[in-house]
Amino acid sequence: MSEGPNLFASRAGIEARFPGQFRTDWQSRGLAIGAVLAMAALFVAGLVQLEIPFSRLIPGTAQLGDFIWTMLPPDPGSWEKTLIYLKAMGETLSISLLGTFGGALLAFPMALLAARNVVANRIVHFLARRWLDTVRGVDTLIWALIWVSVVGLGPFAGILALMCSDFGSFGKLFSEAIETADKRPVEGVLSTGGDHVHGVRFGLLPQVVPVLASQVLYYFESNTRSATIIGIVGAGGIGAQLSEQIRVLEWQKVAFIILLILVTVALIDWLSSRLRFAIIGKAAASH
């Protein structure tokens, strides 16, 4: 062998050939260490500022065990109560379904306005983005409190709360999916004489619709849990029943309702996951 390959094969030869790769970057290392120390100091400062009572942790854990013991075994109390809870759970699923799909339908045209590759006008794009950010910045629970005050107690307030919350989230996710779509199908439609609307309809939307459907299914699963929470503040569903049983200290009934929620969410999760993978799989196969 010649000297060149031997030199390159040895560690010393590699270091001599690429000195920058083996040189210690003290500046980057110092910045990383400084960032870790700063985050640790911020964490400690937060614990001190908030006066976290760690002395209550062990007694509180023991009390939690006693609390869980009082919830066993889960018992609805009677068959009539079971039917009431099942009906309330169905109401929660209806709130989640209508709120999720209503928010998606409202967000879709706004997402088109917020996507740069659909609307080139910077003013329209900026206003659409900021509107979505504003709506998304308000939590679902806050929307529930607002709509309960506007339309009164019941599932209608819950549906409107989820629609408002999902409108902002879907608008952002949809617009990002649209912006990352492949431009070549759109260019192909335009090259055959189609206008911009045709390019969006036949070149852009077929790419992103499976992704949007997958996101909607995921949010339906997530909103099943959110609909339970907003029910506690008066938006109907199983959350209202859960809040009532907690208030009267019927812990076995509380345990039954929680178990019912967990089983329902698990079933929705399983079904939603299968549908999402089926949609994504078909979309991948078509490409």
pLDDT digits 0-9 by tens, 96-115:
999 999 999 999 888 888 88
More confident of the two residues 195 and 161: 161
pLDDT in tens, 17-37: 666 666 666 777 888 888 999
Q: Where does residue 96 rank: exposed (0-12), middle (13-18), buried (19+ CB within 10 A)?
A: buried
Q: What is the pLDDT at residue 105?
A: 92
Phi then psi for residue 257, to 5 deg, are -65, -40
Q: What is the pLDDT at residue 9?
A: 53
Mean pLDDT, residues 173-187 taken together = 81
**Nearest-10 Cα torsion for 62, 68, 70, 76:** 170
More confident of the two residues 35 and 283: 35
Residue 17 CA: distances (Å) to CA of 8, 24, 75 = 8, 16, 74
Q: What is the mean pLDDT of the chain?
A: 81
Q: What is the pLDDT at residue 102?
A: 92
Asked if 82 contacts 253 with a C-beta cutoff of 8 angstroms, the reply is no
Q: What is the pLDDT at residue 8?
A: 47
pLDDT class of 7 with cuts at 50, 70, 90: very low
More confident of the two residues 168 and 13: 168
DSSP 237: S
More confident of the two residues 276 and 68: 68
pLDDT at residue 5 greater than cutoff 60: no
pLDDT in tens, 193-250: 777 777 777 777 788 888 888 888 888 888 888 888 888 887 778 888 888 888 887 8
This prediction's pTM: 0.73
Asked if 127 contacts 191 with a C-beta cutoff of 8 angstroms, the reply is no
pLDDT in tens, 38-93: 999 998 888 888 877 777 777 777 777 777 887 788 888 788 888 988 998 888 89
pLDDT at residue 14 greater than cutoff 70: no
pLDDT class of 282 with cuts at 50, 70, 90: low
pLDDT in tens, 120-131: 778 888 888 888
